[in-house]
Amino acid sequence: MDEIVNKVANSKLLVFDLEDYYPDDHVIAVDISQWLFGGFILKEAEFREQLKNTDWSLYEDKYVALFCSEDAILPAWAYTLVAVHLAPFALKVIHGDKKTAIIDWYQDILNKLDYTEYFEKPLILKGCSKKEVPNEVYTLAIQKLMKVSKSIMFGEACSAVPLFKKK
């Protein structure tokens, strides 16, 4: 009987796994309605007082997504005032939902990465993950990886879809 050889393990293919950079608990969504009267009316004096009494240290070193779950009409300064309180603690404050903040997290990570190990190498952009990596992040990653790699496939080594090959 012939020995079973793992051709994938012996290949020069490198795997770029976006899940390795997933923010886990580094991204938090904060609903501004918690500081509104009845959840949807902004009373400026009460709003300011509640913000003043909030423990902002809970957001230390986090990407914070500010949103309002209620159909409240809010002045632009409401979000800005919350951001003023968050800024000394949070790494970044984003006006939007958690997914938007996760995409922003990845964009910052991808901009800082050293891609030299992928230079002129065949690459698989891992597509199956246990964590919910937004599709938009794959679009960001492929643009970075195309600049350095020889070729890029998407998915797993056993069923990869070719995406890019340098001419």
Indicate if the pLDDT at residue 4 is higher than 60.
no
Average confidence (pLDDT) over 144-153: 97
Q: What is the pTM (predicted TM-score) of this model?
A: 0.86
Instruction: For residue range 99-138, list pLDDT tens digits in order.
Output: 999 999 999 999 999 999 999 999 999 987 788 999 999 9
Average pLDDT over residues 77-90: 98
Residue 6 has pLDDT above 50, yes or no: no
pLDDT tens across 10-60, in order?
468 999 999 999 999 999 999 999 999 998 899 999 999 999 999 999 999
Contact 50, 35 (CB under 8 A): yes
On the question of pLDDT at 5 being above 90, the answer is no
pLDDT confidence of residue 166: 93
At 100 the pLDDT is: 96
Q: Please tell me the predicted confidence (pLDDT) of residue 39.
A: 86
User: Residue 64 above 60 pLDDT?
Assistant: yes
89-99: average pLDDT: 97
Residue 2: pLDDT band with limits 50, 70, 90: low
